[in-house]
Amino acid sequence: MLDPMLPEIFQITRVVKETYDTFTLEMRPSAQRHTFPFEAGQFNMLYVYGVGEIPISISGDPGHTERLTHTTRTVGTVTKAMQALRAGDTLGVRGPFGTAWPVDTARTHDVVLVAGGIGLAPLRPALYQILNRRDEYGKIVLLYGTRSPEDILFRKELEQWRARFDLEIHVTVDYAGDVWHGNVGVVTRLIPKAPFDPAHTVAMICGPEVMMRFAAAELLKRGLSADCIYVSMERNMKCAVGFCGHCQFGPVFVCRDGPVFPFARVQPWINRWEI
């Protein structure tokens, strides 16, 4: 990357409406590069012409470098403008930035993925990679908590994965409504009963900060060491390369040193107010 502040132009090839307020964009890499290699857990800065730029984690399969996939929720000015984009439209892309989920070091171990809400999107690339080399891992467990049944992300894929016998998926919702017969309550409640061997497990957590804090606490209670628990942190970001200062979290820059951290690295800070 010659100038890390300069976006490249990517064309949208497909827009998928996931839920009422989430959507997935598939893009073709810029003419200069043809492919977009990245690691599971990394993010890009996406720019909507004339509106602004925001960091979003990559949600696609790292094995498919011919396309770039992002899934996001419509929450602010930029994501609202992004939601209006259609196939053929273009976006500015800078990246990929940041650290990756420990997919390689997790080999031979059981893997627990704990996702909260849109936090499932940044974890999906790790799950793709693990499933591509399924025989190299022990038990695989996905614990996913979301607001309501209508908020369940990647529903079809979850159903396909659920049909596999080598992958355990538990979904829980905060508000069940009339038709939901599954778990109700916060995702951390699923951790005590989840089938994995705490002595040989790597956990990857992505969701709201408070959820990650409690999920990590539950995993520690089950006997996982803080070095085997990974979290993906979120902070305001303007540059993604350690220059703007916005993403500081105690001694680290989330863009440069994260977003994926071993829990041990953020543990001293995550329980203090307003870090």
Partner 1 sequence: MDEHAFVLERQHFRHLLAALQERGYQTIGPTVREGAIVYDVIESDTDLPVGWGDIQDEGSYQLMQRAEAALFGYTLSPQSWKRFLHPPDVRLWQAHRTDGTFSITPAADEIPRCAFIGVRACELHAIAILDRVFLDGAFVDPIYQRRRAHTFIVAVNCGQASGTCFCASMQTGPAVDSGFDLALTEVIDAERHYFVVNVGTEGGAEVLNALPHREASAEEIAAAAQIVAATAEQMGRSLETANLKATLYNRSEDPLWDEVAERCLTCGNCTLVCPTCFCTTVTDVTDLSGAVAERRRQWDSCFTMEFSYIHGGSVRYTPKARYRQWMTHKLASWIDQFGVSGCVGCGRCITWCPVGIDITDMARRLQTADQPLGEAR
Binding site for partner 1 (CB under 8 A): 1, 3-9, 11, 47, 49-53, 75-76, 88-90, 92, 234-236, 238-239, 241-246, 248, 250-253, 256, 268, 272-275
Considering beta carbons, is residue 133 or 246 the nearer one to partner 1?
246
Considering beta carbons, is residue 199 or 275 the nearer one to partner 1?
275
Considering beta carbons, is residue 20 or 273 the nearer one to partner 1?
273
The closest of 42, 39, 57, 58 to 104, measured between CA atoms, is 39
Considering beta carbons, is residue 53 or 151 the nearer one to partner 1?
53
> If you search the block for the tokens 């916060």, which residue do you land on?
186
Cβ 63 to partner 1 shortest distance, Å: 25
Contact 187, 171 (CB under 8 A): no
Q: What gap in Å lies between CA 189 and CA 194, rounded to an integer? A: 9
Cβ 219 to partner 1 shortest distance, Å: 24
Cβ 11 to partner 1 shortest distance, Å: 7
Q: Distance from CA of residue 254 to its chain's centroid?
A: 14
Considering beta carbons, is residue 223 or 251 the nearer one to partner 1?
251
Cβ 14 to partner 1 shortest distance, Å: 17
Cβ 162 to partner 1 shortest distance, Å: 30
Q: Tokens for 51?
A: 């509106």
Cβ 20 to partner 1 shortest distance, Å: 17
Considering beta carbons, is residue 2 or 179 the nearer one to partner 1?
2
